Chain A
Amino acid sequence: MTSYFQSLGLTYEWSWFIATIAGILLIALPLMLAVAMIIYVDRKIWAAMALRKGPNVVGPFGLLQSFADGLKVFLQETIIPSASNKGLFLIAPIITFTVALMAWAVIPFNSGAVLADINVGLLYILAVSSLGVYGVVISGWASNSKYPFFSAMRAAAQMISYEVSIGFILICVVLWSGTFNLNGIVEAQQGHGLGIVNGYFFNLLLFPMWVMFLISSLAETARAPFDLTEAESELVAGYQTEYSSMAFALFWLGEYANVLLMCTLNAVLFFGGWLPPLDIPVLYLIPGWLWLFAKIFFFFFVFSWVKATVPRYRYDQLMRLGWKIFLPMSLLFVVLVSGWLMVTRYGA
């Protein structure tokens, strides 16, 4: 895109600047639209599984429900608790929202269609997703109220715990693909299974890793059954309790953008990203971004499905799963994967 703007007669610096801004808008705006729609989809799936109708009043089939909700919170009055730490109270939702958008910079939507094609892409995602916890922790503390504070403590412990095993799972993927660049990881999956299946899930050593990654990504985004940070039966609404209006909406948007990001990561790391499911020339006629969107939607369906059917974990069970099961298992698989690659790929 930079070269396009350069051809319009701008200097390199200016065209780089404009191209980057344009790229950011090109990702962020559709993402916000997608979040609005995906909230609607979430509620519809949830309702269908509970044999309800779900939103069906605003617009055809209730399609405009999210926009109506958005308008409502936008017109609400922002209430700031008088005992809160005002600066931090207002910064917290902004952090959550910004961080949720930042990670999308390195996601490849098609071959080479990525805003920042850096060679530490996966590390960048790990770094940014580890920042997400600050929004929750700061909001919980700044609210100066006990339930949000409990929620903040829970969130901090939960996210750090699961990031550890996520890190090891990602190491397995990186070992197999030999690169940290997400585009490179997608390309390495071409014809991975029996020369025809595109995706690391079709691999006896990486399939268990994918299962663990899926569960860890539920925990990392604090979705059901790991939504202990906002467990309404214990903590009112967790860290969001004191929030209203746009600040509340920012949390909401950030949370769903994170969920979408995790779905995308599942697709990119284990299911071949923008590649078609099978390595057959005909399937490449369909553009790559459509394949990616289909996969993201599939994983989002799985997320909603889990939310609608699995009861919430207890906190000690959550910690036990993270530290006593996932951590040793993922460590074991790092050893297995590197041992296997040592024998087959790099020789003795």
Chain B
Amino acid sequence: MIQVLAFYLFAALTIASATLVIMARNPVHSVLWLIVAFFNAAGLMVLVGAEFIAMLLVIVYVGAVAVLFLFVVMMLDIDFAELRAGFVKNFPLGMLIAVVLAAELVLGIGAYRAGSLELGTPDGSAAPLLGKSNIESIGALLYTKYLFLFESAGIILLVAMIGAIVLTHRERKGTRPQIISKQVRRRPEDATVNVKPEVGQGVQL
């Protein structure tokens, strides 16, 4: 009973907030609705027993990706009048795509009604381990069967990082970075002098 209620709550909120992502006029509101959608999707994950994925969804997408997204969107200067002008111009194309999508939906539902879809059955190689939490099951698969792919995925991330650095990093000339060891090495004698000037005389530094 609680599960059913929770499912419909999360599902309805996911769909509603996903709709609001594209309906909201302010891009910052869109991002915030996106976060709500992520959150409810994580709730759905918990319901199907994938608590590890749910937590990762929140930590990675809500906690890091969406924050950076918000960071960028907040600094955008968007002219809403211009956006609406584009809207009128692209309206016929948008309508066309909408009609095509609606037709596809109708067709898809029709095809679904006509005969049940035959889904394949898993070959059992990725079945969860009995009596283990799903973190342990994922770990047991990731570090044995999928070790090669897991390590290769690491190289993909490395390449993405190299790419970001290659395309954006610039050596700037004339900067004066802080060198902590140099600061610590400096003694009072190097920096201060004790002078006793005569009255009416300046200090020669």
- So, do A and B actually touch in the complex, CB under 8 Å? yes
Q: Does A130 contact B (CB under 8 A)?
A: yes
For the complex formed, measure the closest distance between the CB of B169 and the CB atoms of chain A, giving whole angstroms: 14
Interface of B is mostly: helix
**A180-B135 contact in complex given A141-B74, A156-B70, A160-B68, C-beta closer than 8 Å:** yes
For the complex formed, measure the closest distance between the CB of B130 and the CB atoms of chain A, giving whole angstroms: 16
Q: Check if B2 sits within 8 Å of A13, measured CB to CB.
A: yes
Among the stretches B11-19, B55-63, B102-110, the one at the interface with A is B55-63
Bound Cα distance A131, B178 (Å): 33
**A141-B51 contact in complex given A130-B59, A160-B64, A163-B63, C-beta closer than 8 Å:** no
Q: Does A118 contact B (CB under 8 A)?
A: yes
Contact string, A98-132, partner B, CB cutoff 8 A, digits 1/0? Answer: 00000000000000000000111001101110110
Q: Does B1 contact A (CB under 8 A)?
A: yes
For the complex formed, measure the closest distance between the CB of A137 and the CB atoms of chain B, giving whole angstroms: 6
Tell which of A127, A141, A152 touches B63, judged by Cβ atoms closer than 8 Å: A127
Q: Check if B178 sits within 8 Å of A120, measured CB to CB.
A: no
Bound Cα distance A149, B71 (Å): 10
Q: Does B20 contact A (CB under 8 A)?
A: no
Bound Cα distance A328, B29 (Å): 36
Chain B residues, Cβ within 8 Å of A119: 51, 133, 135
**A127-B55 contact in complex given A153-B71, A156-B71, C-beta closer than 8 Å:** yes
Q: A298-312: which residues lie under 8 A (CB-CB) from chain B?
A: none
A-B residue pairs in contact (CB < 8 Å), sample of 9: A119-B135, A120-B52, A124-B55, A130-B62, A130-B67, A131-B58, A131-B63, A160-B68, A320-B178
**Which A residues fall within an 8 A CB radius of B?**
13, 16, 85, 88, 118-120, 123-124, 126-128, 130-131, 133-134, 137-138, 141, 149, 152-153, 156-157, 159-160, 163, 180, 316-317, 320
